[in-house]
Amino acid sequence: FAGNNSDFLKGVVAMSGLPSADRIEVCFAGRSNVGKSTLINALTGRTRLARASNTPGRTQEINYFTLADSHYLVDLPGYGYANAPLPVIEKWQRLLKQYLSGRATLRRAFVLVDMRHGIKDVDEEIMSLLDSSAVTFQVVMTKADKVKEKDREKVMAQVREKLSKHPAAFPELVITSSEKGDGIPTLRAIIAGLD
């Protein structure tokens, strides 16, 4: 990346609030608590840039962060948070669909999957939405530090099997631990390589 500066730009609640589409953009989707905000902090090297929390559903807006002067990192609200009221969920789903299908500069979506749990039905819903929006997505396994090496292959096999049914899925998985830093340089390189 040219320069290494990152900053919070803005939180967006409607398409009209999106910043001008003048940079390469990647977004981070995944179930509540999977580690999206923590991953953005790890990628930018700033521990408190994106608010991470133990309370699921903490990130409610589409949060824009700048990476260098060339990229936007987009932290999407977590899904699968059962306690949110239905109108809130429906409003969010509408915005998400509009965002995914209408953002020309969106180069890739990273769908985060907890290494302990594998792909759930709600993840498949978002993957189908990405398929139909023709947005290439790549799965990032999170919290690898919580799973022993010998237990990893089983969940990885489940993930690969599920991904084979999604035309927009990028086949290569990235295994990360924001806690330990595993996979962060790899993910940075992937993002830097998009154009």
Give the sign of the dihedral formed by CA 151, CA 38, CA 52, CA 129: negative
In the list 37, 44, 177, 178, the residue contacting Mg ion (rule: CB under 5 A) is: 37
In the list 57, 98, 158, 160, the residue contacting ligand GTP (rule: CB under 6 A) is: 57
Please say whether the beta carbons of 192 and 184 come within 8 A.
no
Report if residue 145 touches ligand GTP, rule: CB under 6 A. Answer: yes
Residue 12 CA to residue 75 CA, distance in Å, equals 10
Report if residue 80 touches ligand GTP, rule: CB under 6 A. Answer: no
Residue 165 CA to residue 106 CA, distance in Å, equals 22
Report if residue 38 touches ligand GTP, rule: CB under 6 A. Answer: yes
- In single-letter form, the type of residue at position 192 comes to A
Report if residue 143 touches ligand GTP, rule: CB under 6 A. Answer: yes
Report if residue 78 touches ligand GTP, rule: CB under 6 A. Answer: yes
User: Cα separations (Å) of 95 from 12, 13, 62, 90, 103?
Assistant: 10, 8, 9, 9, 12
| Minimal distance, residue 188 CB to ligand GTP, in Å | 15
Report if residue 133 touches ligand GTP, rule: CB under 6 A. Answer: no
Residue 17 CA to residue 53 CA, distance in Å, equals 25
Report if residue 6 touches ligand GTP, rule: CB under 6 A. Answer: no
Q: Which residues within the stretch 92-131 sit at the binding site for ligand GTP (CB under 6 A)?
A: none
Residue 26 β-bridge partners? 73, 108
Instruction: List, edge to edge, every strand of the sheet that includes 71-75.
Output: 6-12, 62-67, 71-75, 24-30, 106-114, 137-142, 169-175
In the list 37, 44, 63, 138, the residue contacting ligand GTP (rule: CB under 6 A) is: 37
Q: Which residues within the stretch 41-60 sit at the binding site for Mg ion (CB under 5 A)?
A: 59
Would you tell me which residues interact with ligand GTP (CB under 6 A)? 30, 32-38, 52-54, 56-59, 78, 142-143, 145-146, 177-179
Would you tell me which residues interact with Mg ion (CB under 5 A)? 36-37, 59
